[in-house]
Amino acid sequence: MMMKTLLPMNTVKCRRLLWAMIVIAIFVCAISAQNPSPNMMSPARLSLMPIPASVQLQPGRLQITSGFTVATKNFADDRLRAAIARMLRRLEGRTVLTLPADLSNDEAAATLVIQCERAGETIPSLNENESYSLEINDKQARLVAPTVVGALRGLETFLQMLQGDRDGFFMPAIRINDQPRFPWRGLLIDVGRHYEPMEVLKRNLDAMAAVKLNVFHWHLSEDQGFRVESKKFPKLTGLGSDGLFYTQDQVREIIAYARDRGIRVMPEFDIPGHSTSWLVAYPELGSAPGPYKIERGAGIFEPALDPTREQTYKFLDTFLGEMAGLFPDDYLHIGGDENEGKQWDRNPQIQVFMKEKGIKDNHALQAYFNQRILKILQKHHKKMIGWDEILHPDLPTDAVIQSWRGPASLAEAAKKGYNGILSAGYYIDLILPAAEHYQADPIPANTSLSAEEAKHVLGGEATMWGEWVSSETIDSRIWPRTAAIAERLWSPRNINDIEDMYRRLSVISRQLEELGLTHEKNYEMMLRRLAASENSAPLRTLASIIEPVKQYRRYQQRPQTMLSPLTGLVDAARPDSETARRFNAHVNSFLADAPRFALNRSELERTLAEWQTASRALGPMIDQSPALQEARPLANDLSVIATAGLEAMSYLSSGDAPTMEWRQAQLARLDEAAKPKAALEFVVMSSLRKLVIAAGELPQLHSMTPAEWNKRVTMMASPPAAKP
Residue 338 binding a second copy, by CB under 8 A:
no
Q: What are phi and psi of 501, to 5 degrees?
A: -60, -45
CA angle centred on 300, ends 297 and 301, rounded to 5°: 75
Among 77, 138, 199, 361, contact with a second copy (rule: CB under 8 A): 199
Give the chain's count of helices (H) and strands (E). 27, 19
Residue 563 binding a second copy, by CB under 8 A:
yes
Give the nearer residue to a second copy in terms of CB position, either 116 or 628.
628
Among 108, 534, 699, 702, contact with a second copy (rule: CB under 8 A): 534
Among 337, 514, 610, 647, contact with a second copy (rule: CB under 8 A): 514
Strand partners, 218: 189, 267
Secondary structure class of 519 (helix, strand, coil): coil
Give the nearer residue to a second copy in terms of CB position, either 529 or 553.
529
Residue 513 binding a second copy, by CB under 8 A:
yes
Nearest approach, Cβ of residue 92 and a second copy (Å): 4
Residue 583 binding a second copy, by CB under 8 A:
no
Among 140, 625, 636, 718, contact with a second copy (rule: CB under 8 A): 625
Number of residues assigned to the chain: 724
Nearest approach, Cβ of residue 528 and a second copy (Å): 6
Q: Residue 68: which of 182, 195, 162 has the closest Cα? A: 162
Site for a second copy in 631-690 (CB under 8 A): none
Residue 253 binding a second copy, by CB under 8 A:
no
Cα 263 from Cα 247, distance rounded (Å): 20
Nearest approach, Cβ of residue 254 and a second copy (Å): 15
Give the nearer residue to a second copy in terms of CB position, either 361 or 524.
524
Residue 123 binding a second copy, by CB under 8 A:
no
Nearest approach, Cβ of residue 238 and a second copy (Å): 16
DSSP letters, 84-144, are: HHHHHHHHHHHH------SPPS-TTT-SEEEEEEE---SS--TT----EEEEE-SS-EEEE
The runs of H, that is alpha helices, within 303-347 are 310-326, 342-346
Neighbour-count burial of 623, counting CB atoms closer than 10 A to its CB (0-12 exposed, 13-18 middle, 19+ buried): exposed
8 A C-beta contact, residue 446 and residue 423: no
Give the nearer residue to a second copy in terms of CB position, either 563 or 668.
563
Among 291, 626, 720, 724, contact with a second copy (rule: CB under 8 A): 626
Among 119, 244, 627, 657, contact with a second copy (rule: CB under 8 A): 627
| Intra-chain end-to-end CA distance of the chain, in Å | 29
User: In this structure, what DSSP letter does residue 13 have?
Assistant: G
Interface stretch with a second copy, choices 111-119, 164-172, 337-345, 442-450 (CB under 8 A): 164-172
Interface stretch with a second copy, choices 149-157, 390-398, 512-520, 712-720 (CB under 8 A): 512-520
Give the nearer residue to a second copy in terms of CB position, either 117 or 513.
513
Residue 506 binding a second copy, by CB under 8 A:
yes
| Cβ atoms < 10 Å from Cβ of 361 | 11
Interface stretch with a second copy, choices 481-489, 524-532, 604-612, 712-720 (CB under 8 A): 524-532
Nearest approach, Cβ of residue 503 and a second copy (Å): 12
Q: Going along 211-256, which residue ranges are E strands?
A: 215-219, 221-222, 225-226
Interface stretch with a second copy, choices 233-241, 327-335, 516-524, 585-593 (CB under 8 A): 516-524
Distance of CA 585 to the CA centre of its chain: 24
Give the nearer residue to a second copy in terms of CB position, either 131 or 544.
544
Nearest approach, Cβ of residue 398 and a second copy (Å): 41
Nearest approach, Cβ of residue 276 and a second copy (Å): 17
Residue 560 binding a second copy, by CB under 8 A:
yes
Interface stretch with a second copy, choices 345-353, 384-392, 397-405, 565-573 (CB under 8 A): 565-573
Q: Residue 568: which of 509, 634, 612, 637 has the closest Cα? A: 634
Nearest approach, Cβ of residue 625 and a second copy (Å): 5
Residue 561 binding a second copy, by CB under 8 A:
yes
Cα 385 from Cα 399, distance rounded (Å): 6
Q: What are phi and psi of 211, to 5 degrees?
A: -115, 20
217 Cβ partners below 8 Å, 6+ apart?
186, 187, 188, 189, 266, 268, 333, 461, 463
User: In this structure, what DSSP letter does residue 492 have?
Assistant: -
Q: What are phi and psi of 478, to 5 degrees?
A: -90, -45
Interface stretch with a second copy, choices 318-326, 456-464, 510-518, 696-704 (CB under 8 A): 510-518
8 A C-beta contact, residue 213 and residue 461: no
Q: Give the DSSP H or E segment for 377.
A: helix 362-379
Binding mask 4-43 for a second copy (x = CB under 8 A): ----------------------------------------
Per-residue exposure over 198-236, b if at least 16 CB sit within 10 Å of its own CB, e if not: eebbbbbbbbbbbbbbbbbbbbbbbbbbbbbbbeebeeb
Nearest approach, Cβ of residue 173 and a second copy (Å): 18
Residue 565 binding a second copy, by CB under 8 A:
yes
Nearest approach, Cβ of residue 93 and a second copy (Å): 5
| Cβ atoms < 10 Å from Cβ of 357 | 12
Residue 164 binding a second copy, by CB under 8 A:
yes
Among 169, 246, 331, 709, contact with a second copy (rule: CB under 8 A): 169
| Cβ atoms < 10 Å from Cβ of 475 | 26
Q: Looking at 135, 338, 436, 610, which residue is catalytic?
A: 338
Nearest approach, Cβ of residue 104 and a second copy (Å): 16
129 Cβ partners below 8 Å, 6+ apart?
120, 146, 147, 149, 150
> Is 338 among the catalytic positions?
yes
| Cβ atoms < 10 Å from Cβ of 346 | 12
Binding mask 78-107 for a second copy (x = CB under 8 A): -----------x--xxxxxxx--x------
Residue 525 binding a second copy, by CB under 8 A:
yes
Distance of CA 458 to the CA centre of its chain: 18
Counting residues that bind a second copy (by CB under 8 A) gives: 45
Instruction: Tell me which residues touch a second copy (CB under 8 A).
Output: 89, 92-98, 101, 164-166, 168-169, 199, 506, 509-510, 513-514, 518, 520-522, 524-525, 528-530, 532-534, 560-561, 563-565, 567-568, 623-627, 629
Enumerate the active-site residues.
338
